Amino acid sequence: MKIGLLTSGGDCPGLNAVIRGAVLKGVISHDTEFVGFRNGWRGVVERDIIPITRHDVRGLAKTGGTILGSSRTNPFEGEGGGPENIQRMLDEEGIDAIIAIGGEGTLTAARRLHDEGGIKVLGVPKTIDNDLAATDYSFGFDTAVQIATEAIDRLRTTADSHGRCMVLEVMGRHVGWIALHSGMAGGAHAILIPEQPQSIEQICEWVESVRDRGRAPLVVVAEGFTLPGMTEAHSHKGLDAFNRPRLGGIADVLAPLIEERTGIESRSTVLGHIQRGGEPTAYDRVLATRLGMAAIEAAYAHAWGSMVTLRGTDIKTVSIAEATGSLNRVPQDRYDEAKILFG
């Protein structure tokens, strides 16, 4: 079997570990031939293909980013886009199947290609946001949480030195998992997530409570958080290739409001793409490797249209439709658990 690998959407730590796990499993267990599509679905549409050998993946598990490159290209657009053109390209190149490593946008496109054109495709869940349903955790999330937690630790010392309120914005799109985990780990005094809108009055009440105890308030906010009256998450960066708004900047909105209402000097920090960079944690290296290996077994089981997933500590296979049909949101009980620590 000849399999094409691609990494699409926003990059995250652990992508290279998936590639390594898949290639080693395929070569050792099945004598599989591998190629890579460069820059995600763009490489599929533009037929930008490179060979991948066992030598090419040597030592990749610890390396951040992706050796294949990534993009947010929509595979249904462009001269070579759409199921018919893609299937013709695969036939001409002798490629039997595609393993798409990506998040919500990538896997939704993979599902459409399979459902509408019969493309033999498998998915591997990748997102630092941990927003994909049907998997307990996705690789990249643990690393992002660790990076955000280190940022909280650093902000705390400068906040204490000046008696300031610090508002740290983390990624997550429309879910608050990074904010919840990093906020709890770093001892944040308030955690603001999309699933739980809070009024500016409540936020300021928490901030003032911290100030009254002689501490410097530290607020962690997910980029998709909204205040009452906001009809959508804050965005001033336009749309991506899938017509989704590029979120970011809510911390810059909140900090002046907090300072105006409490009189506490406040500063905002948007962590941004730092969360995507650097070496993956040990947990993400192991999870990514296991998912890559499992994807090869799914290919030889002809489980097309499926995604490998983590359930508890076991790797399972589910339909891509199940994974992309809804978001993995922070449940009420998890937020209530953290809320005890606010203020």
Model confidence pLDDT, tens digit, residues 256-282:
999 999 999 999 999 999 999 999 999
Binding residues are: 10, 72-73, 103-106, 127-129, 164, 171-173, 223, 267, 273-276
Calculate helix-pair angle for 282-300, 141-162, nearest 10 degrees: 160
Alpha-carbon span 176 to 170, nearest angstrom: 9
| Type and span of the H or E element at 250 | helix 250-262
- Sign of CA pseudo-dihedral 157, 158, 164, 169: negative
Binding residues for substrate: 127-129, 164, 171-173, 223, 267, 273-276
Is residue 129 among the annotated active site residues? Answer: yes
Cross-strand partners of 97: 3
Average pLDDT score over residue span 298-312 = 97
**Hey, CA dihedral for 51, 56, 61, 63, is it positive or negative?**
negative
- Asked if the model's pLDDT at residue 248 lies above 90, the reply is no
What is the pLDDT averaged over residues 34-51? 97
The correct CATH number of 2-133+280-324 out of 3.40.50.450, 3.30.590.20, 3.30.420.40, 1.10.760.10 is 3.40.50.450
| pLDDT per residue as tens digits for the range 317-343 | 999 999 888 899 999 999 999 999 999
Give the pLDDT of residue 230.
84
pLDDT range class, residue 6, cuts 50, 70, 90: very high
pLDDT score of 126 more than 70: yes
Residue-level pLDDT at 242: 61
Spot the catalytic one: 11, 129, 131, 142: 129
Q: What residues are designated binding site for ATP?
A: 10, 72-73, 103-106
List where CATH 3.40.50.450 sits in the chain.
2-133+280-324
DSSP state, residue 60: G
> Which residue in the block uniquely carries the two structure tokens 């740290």?
168
Q: Mean pLDDT, to the nearest integer, of 3-13?
A: 95
Distances (CA, A) of 165 to 155, 183, 216, 257: 10, 15, 6, 11
For the question of whether the overall pTM of this predicted structure is more than 0.85, the answer is yes
- pLDDT of 162 > 70? The answer is yes
| Distance (Å) of CA 91 to CA 43, 47, 95 | 15, 12, 6
% the chain with pLDDT above 70: 98
* pLDDT exceeds 70 at position 291: yes
pLDDT for res 149: 98
Q: Tell the CATH superfamily of the 141-277 domain.
A: Phosphofructokinase domain (3.40.50.460)
Confidence category of residue 240, pLDDT binned at 50, 70, 90: low
N-term to C-term CA, the chain: 58
Q: Is 161 helix (H, G, I), strand (E, B) or coil?
A: helix
Residue limits of CATH 3.40.50.460 in the chain: 141-277
Q: What are phi and psi of 92, to 5 degrees?
A: -70, -30
Give 241's pLDDT tier (boundaries 50, 70, 90): low
Average pLDDT over the chain, rounded to an integer: 95
Both structure tokens of 317: 């296979």
Which residue ranges are tagged as binding site for Mg(2+)? 104
pLDDT score recorded for residue 323 = 87
